[in-house]
Chains A and B, each alone.
Chain A
Amino acid sequence: MKRLLAFSVIAATIVAACTSTTTTSTPSGSAATGQHPKIGLVTDVGGLNDKSFNSLADQGRQQAQSQLDVTTSVTESKQQADYVPNLTKYAQDKYDLVIGVGFLMQNAVWKVAKQFPSVKFAIIDGAPNDDAGAVQNLPNVANLFFKEQEAGYVVGVIAAFMAKNKVGAATHNTVCSMGGIPIPPVDRYIAGYQDAVKTISPTTKIINGYSNDFVDQQKGLEVGKSHIAQGCDILFQVAGGSGLGYIQAAKAAGVYAIGVDADQASVAPGTVITSALKKVDQAVFQTVRAVRLGTFKAGDNFFNAANGGVGFGAVDKIVPADAKAAATTALADIASGKITPKDTVQVKP
């Protein structure tokens, strides 16, 4: 009996693992240009269940599959050496658009796109990089970038309101942020965040730090503890997996955190008051639609508040209604061009 039970548990797990991929590919017929294009998505090593970039990109692919007249397919990369063959395979099979997820694929996209000039490519959060690491834009590659500072600004508005009005546990009038590594996409988030706080609540103290890691939760936890010891009540993480440790530090101390990239409310309900969103799914969907409509644009494409590419996630009930309303207004003002958030960090560690 016991053995049977154990076996069924294992069986159920494995079945779940098999079915977790929701590929709906029907590789039939060759696509004429513009008509019923074929779209291939290649994840980075994070895999489809990373609850972040890759899973969001796949959501965008599924949305395109169901709403646009396209055929789509997805391939997970298991290791760095898989990027080139996975991209090549789609290009060889005459797919119309091949999308690579994440800056880790910058060099692989450059290598493959150069060899298949008639196939369109897109890379999320990056641009083609040659072997020496220099950006080499190609006429068949779209670089999908985000205005992170706009998402950072909007969550900064909520943080500023919480700090200024001393809402709940936010009693020290101090807000903090932690990046993974000081690279441009990380710093743009932090720059917008600081800009909003300085604008709305000039008296609020701002602290910023880096965990120097995107994976290790322990490092994020240590930085978080140190920030809380300095009076931080609101902690904005821009450090991927390492940032989850930063959120844990906030949870343990009973203060608040802000998530990044995806909606991270479920990471620590009641602690995460909102999240700065990078809508990778929208970037994928809109790029597929551009190919479908024949409006594909190579080179830099920016996803911002104006085209729904960035925004903020679910807002916790502790956040006052006026703060939430101010964030919504700020997002609209950024979209209309009334506010232009700064993209360089003012308060350094």
Chain B
Amino acid sequence: MNQEQAATTGPGTASPAPSVRQLTFQWAAGPAIPVLSVVIALLLGAIFVQLSGKDAIAAYSALVQGAFGTPYDITETLVSAIPLVLTGLAVAVAFRTGLFNIGAQGQLLVGALAAGWAGAQFATWPGIILMPVVILFGIAGGAFYGGIVGFLKAVRGVNEVITTIMLNYTIVFVMHWLLQAGPMTAQNALGTPASTPIGAGARLPVIIPNELVLFSRLHAGIILAAVAVVLFWFLLWRTPLGYQLRAVGLGPRAAAQAGIDPARHMVLVMAIAGGFAGLGGMIEVSGVFGRVYDGFSSSYGFDAIAVALLGKNSPLGIVFAALLFGAFVHGGAYMQSHAGISSNLVAIIQAFVLFVIAAETLVRALTRRRRGARKPVEAIA
């Protein structure tokens, strides 16, 4: 992220070669704002813990201990972070093209349903064939659902924020129907609304042997997530398509003048975003549950917005932000059981992180206006 940031956020004015000090400063400025916002959020959270008559230090040490205290906890933190990486990418790739994808949640669910359907339908196939099929179904499901949004925006100019929110609801209800008394409902789920289990060949294997970390659930989905992060970086910064997408994001009219068709790229980028989220859904089904549970994901798609913002839409930034939020999820439970502090504190800290980031953007926008002069816009090469 850092070198990349330094290269892309460098002054666009035609200045002579920047000094080493300048470059170092820019390098440090990349992660400085996100790190600072997390620190401020943690401090604000601490104030509220103290106000409620509890011990903030005990709370945070339990949070850290819960997230990283034992090898098992570290693997669980990773398990929690995996879907957030994928949905984070789904939000970020759209951001980079100037679209606000609130629909990662819905895209993840469609991917999960498609993967769960294929995994159960072709359960008897050998893993070497079934696994790629299930991965493709997951990606295709999410891509289809995201593509709808891009299509409506391109053809009718419908605001993507509205359509993604509406489609999030749509899939929740379709899921109720499919899993409670519909075509995908398991016959023997004993009242738990769920789909028929997927075949053994569709299960992502646990990659940490029991001898190393007892009962670890860390599955091969982490490899898929890593591949997705590299793909995200490669696509945006190493392909002509990525260049065009970022150009559309920085200025659709300028991009159109330069011969880039924004409409086509809107459909494409939303399908790519949906593909990332859909892969996230597939990973949860294949790696964690082995079937689709009704309403299994409550917030991956929404936390993803915070992950993308905190990660500044950069590949490494998203990985770190997802790890942080994964640690919050897993450590929060331990904080509740051992320090007696509601794991809702974690949600409060996450909200503060967003506030601080939003405030930073606001302050920058205000100061820019006050100065009267526009700062040079990001260069895109």
Contact = CB atoms under 8 A, between A and B. Distances in A.
Interface string B181-218: 10000111111101001000000000000000001010
Contact of B192 (A78, A82, A103, A213): A103
A92 interface: yes
A304 interface: no
A181 B191 contact: yes
A79 interface: yes
Interface string B142-153: 000000000000
B205 to A, nearest CB: 15
B44 to A, nearest CB: 9
A133 B48 contact: no
Nearest to B66: A89
Contact of A185 (B52, B70, B191, B340): B191
Interface string B335-367: 011101111110010000000000000000000
Contact of A80 (B79, B296, B337): B296
Nearest to A182: B181
Contact of A17 (B66, B187, B342): B342
Given A85-B76, A131-B290, A14 B337 contact: no
Given A84-B217, A86-B333, A92-B72, A79 B190 contact: no
Contacts, number: 137
Interface string A121-141: 000001101011111000000
Nearest to B75: A85
B197 A82 contact: no
B299 A81 contact: no
Contacts of A20: 342, 344
B80 to A, nearest CB: 7
A18 B191 contact: no
A228 interface: no
A90 interface: yes
Contact of B52 (A18, A104, A135): A18
Interface residues of A, number: 50
B266 to A, nearest CB: 31
Contacts of A14: 48, 348
- Scoring A18, A73, A104 by chain B CB atoms within 10 A of each residue's CB, the highest score goes to A18
Contacts of B48: 11, 14-15, 18
Given A14-B48, A79-B297, A79-B298, A133 B197 contact: yes
B190 A80 contact: no
Contacts of A86: 333
Given A11-B48, A103-B192, A106-B190, A76 B333 contact: yes
Nearest to B83: A81
Given A18-B344, A80-B293, A90-B337, A103 B288 contact: no
Contacts of A135: 190
Contact of B345 (A18, A85, A129): A18
A133 B191 contact: no
B197 A18 contact: no
Contacts of B234: none
A117 interface: no
A82 B76 CA distance: 10
B181 A76 contact: no
Contacts of B338: 25, 27, 73
Given A135-B190, A213-B176, A74 B336 contact: yes
Contacts of B296: 79-81
A144 to B, nearest CB: 15
Given A21-B336, A131-B197, A185-B191, A80 B289 contact: yes
B186 A133 contact: yes
Interface in B95-126: none
B337 A181 contact: no
A78 B217 CA distance: 18
Contacts of A133: 186-190, 192, 194, 197
Closest 9 CB pairs of A and B: A21-B342, A23-B340, A18-B52, A133-B188, A80-B296, A183-B191, A19-B52, A75-B337, A73-B337
Given A81-B284, A183-B190, 5 more contacts: A23-B336, A45-B298, A75-B333, A76-B342, A134-B188
16 contacts: A11-B48, A17-B342, A18-B48, A18-B345, A21-B344, A40-B337, A75-B334, A75-B337, A78-B298, A78-B329, A79-B297, A88-B72, A107-B192, A126-B190, A134-B188, A213-B180
